[in-house]
């Protein structure tokens, strides 16, 4: 699964969920599909968290990385 992209994982997760929602699969197969879905959720979540961490860093003028904070102007 490591070579999979975030988008590929989401597509596969959507397909897996459709199978589960159909209700037309045997219990054992449903358990396997559910396990697969949970693995995909974790993989996608890890990818998203990693991307978020990278986005939250910006390069300062002197080349040092600095945490990026969004100011709420409400």
DSSP 34: H
pLDDT band of residue 2 (cuts 50, 70, 90) is: confident
Considering only CA atoms, which of 6, 43, 46 is closest in space to residue 35? 43
What domains does the chain contain, in order, with CATH numbers? 6-67 (1.10.287)
Terminal CA-to-CA distance of the chain, rounded, Å? 42
Per-residue model confidence (pLDDT) at position 39: 96
- pLDDT digit string (tens) for 18-63? 999 998 999 999 999 999 999 999 999 999 998 887 777 655 555 6
**Maximal CA-CA distance, the chain:** 60
Question: CA 66 to CA 20: how far, in whole Å?
Answer: 44
Number of H helices, E strands in the chain: 2, 2
């Amino acid at each position: 699964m490591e070579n999979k992209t975030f988008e590929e994982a989401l597509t596969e997760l959507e397909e897996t969920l459709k199978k589960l929602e159909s209700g037309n699969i045997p219990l054992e197969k449903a358990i396997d599909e559910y396990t697969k879905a949970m693995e995909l959720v974790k993989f996608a979540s890890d990818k998203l968290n990693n991307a978020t961490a990278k986005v939250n860093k910006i390069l300062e003028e002197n080349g040092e990385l600095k945490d990026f904070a969004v100011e709420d102007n409400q």
